[in-house]
Structure 1
Amino acid sequence: MESLTGKTVIVTGASKGIGAATAAAMIDAGATVIAHYGGDRAGVEAATAAAKPEQVTLLQADFADMDAVDAFWADAVEAADGQIDVLVNNAGIMRQAGGIEDPIEAWDEAWTRSMAVNVHAPARLLRHAVRGWLQAETGGSVIAIGSWVTTRGTSNPGAISYAASKAAIAAATKTVARNYAAKGILAYVIAPGVVRTQMSVDSAAKTGGEAAVTATLPMGEWVPPSDIAEMAVFLAEGRARHLTGATIDLNGAAYIR
């Protein structure tokens, strides 16, 4: 069922993991997709391979560079003929070193990169999107891919900057929800637990290994990226307007608030 036909969706970090699954799901739902990637062109091409002619546009940008973020947005708006309906802020990095016990050089590098890619870049896109919707008086939706570490912290001490950065962009997204709901602008945070991505595999290696992490999960399995993608499609449909501002936990009962 092509529930998103006629809508244009930006998915950042679409070359792997959650972003790749989300881009594919949006395409399957009939959306026109603008898929961002950093350096993995082959990955984003694979993720969007099922697209019909002219259904997808691939745009590269280094999200550590705010000029590149601004240029990406301008290119996306041009590609979409001015119509962006949904922004999925997914792109992010997780440094595995840079904790309190690591050298100050690693600490500084982790915090600098995490704040740039995980906070400043998505916040910049958030700003562009909301300002565009306000000017056009069309409304729109922002879907932030967050993490359960925003409320529980992370068990990986080297990823402290990642946890802080995810909390920051989640708060920014909720602020949009509170202030612009009457303008038809909706904003959601999806907070996954342990997802079957390379990022999670790398993190598990720092916290006892994959088997040890799996043993802590009530369902005994990691969350498949497709679960997050399907939730993103549902939110993009706009049928859950009064869910705006919510954080949707997807962790298989591993963390219940």
Structure 2
Amino acid sequence: MHDLPSTGRRVLVSGASRGLGRALAQEFAANGDQVAVHYAARRAEAEETFKSLAGEGHTLLSADISDPGQAAGLVAEAAWELGGIDVLVNNAAVSSPHPPATTPYEEWTAAWRRHTGVNLLGTAHLSHQAAQHMIEQGAGGRIVNIGSRGAFRGEPDHPAYGATKAAVHALGQSLAVALAPHGIAVASVAPGFIETERVAHRLGGAEGSAIRTQSPFGRVAEPEEIAAAVLWLASPQAQWASGTVLDLNGASYLRT
């Protein structure tokens, strides 16, 4: 176990190799926290994230969170390396197109298995295991889930993504009620489009201008804007926000 400073929280960020995950890791590190940077396969990019973090005491960990054993192992290793876990940010997710009208059935079922395995079950298993550490530590904790505007707006070409993100929102609300007696607050954010590598091909193409005009601000979110909101939801001041699903989409979709 590493010798850690007496200040700063222990934070596990899943899917932190690039994009929003990198911005999340950087935000917590700049706040004085120690961060476990998780990645699945993008080691080189995850190393770039790791090297970019301010402060000391961080760690770089790999796991396929769709595998229940590896998910549990990731939390255990993060707790060992950091000396405990105070905050879990469930950012890891997959998204690939599978429009129902044109996707062959074998590809359709594979897409649903993959999305469910990572986006929903991976999030559920990491949350369960992190909560056990937080309960044992006896000082409460925070779990913040990265959901999606698509959970409400629909994802016609990515239906499994929209469905699993809606399930993540519901999971967060269930955990918020179940874990509150232990001082653990759970919240989710529902971003729209974010300027990341994952959607660069869409933002840079003909579709890009149409996507930007979805918001009256005429743009999409910067990763740092989402990370700042997550940092607040993970803060001691945000306990009363437990159970919330925070829309972060520049008025591009308003729920009534």
TM-score (norm. length: structure 1):
0.91
Task: For structure 2, list consecutive stretches of 5 or more residues without a partner in the other structure.
Answer: 1-5
- Residues 100, 158 of structure 1: 8 Å contact kept: no
User: What is the SS of the residue equivalent to 1:15?
Assistant: coil
Among candidates 20, 27, 30, match of residue 28 of structure 1: 30
Give 1:125's aligned residue.
Answer: 126
In the alignment, what sits opposite 1:49?
A: 51
- CA contact 1:214–1:220 (8 Å) conserved in 2: yes
How far off is 1:28 after superposition? Answer: 0.7
Other-structure match for 1:175: 174
Give the letter aligned to residue 252 of structure 1.
G
- Note the C-alpha offset of 1:99: 2.8
**Which secondary structure state, in structure 2, belongs to the residue aligned with residue 49 of structure 1?**
helix
Judge conservation of contact 2:145–2:188 (CA < 8 Å) in 1.
Answer: yes
Partner Cα distance (2:121, 2:82) in 1 = 23
Q: How does 1:1-257 map to 2 (within 5 A)?
A: 5-51=7-53, 54-81=56-83, 83-97=84-98, 99-154=100-155, 157-202=156-201, 209-257=207-255
Displacement of 1:72 in angstroms is 1.2
The percentage of aligned residue pairs carrying the same residue is 34
Against the structure 1 CA distance between its residues 5 and 230, is the aligned structure 2 distance closer, same or farther, given a 3 Å change threshold? farther
Structure 1 residue 44: Cα displacement: 1.7
Specify whether residues 179 and 191 from structure 1 end up closer, same or farther in structure 2 by C-alpha distance, changes over 3 A only. same
Runs of 4 or more above 3 Å deviation: 50-54, 201-206
State how far apart, in whole Å, the 2-side matches of 1:168 and 1:5 are: 35
Task: Tell me how far apart the structure 1 counterparts of residues 149 and 220 of structure 2 sit (CA, whole Å).
Answer: 13
Unmatched 5+ stretches in structure 1: none
Note the aligned Cα RMSD (angstroms): 2.0
| Equivalent position SS for 1:10 | strand
Partners of 1:77 and 1:195 in 2: CA distance: 30
* Inter-CA distance 158–52: structure 2 relative to 1 (3 Å threshold): closer
> In structure 1, what is the Cα distance between the partners aligned to 2:236 and 2:127?
18
Report the CA distance between 1:43 and its aligned residue: 1.4
SS in 1 for 2:237: coil
Specify the SS of the correspondent of 1:239: helix
Question: Match of 1:99, SS?
Answer: coil
Answer whether contact 2:32 2:55 (CA < 8 A) is retained: no
What is the number of residues matched between the two proteins?
250
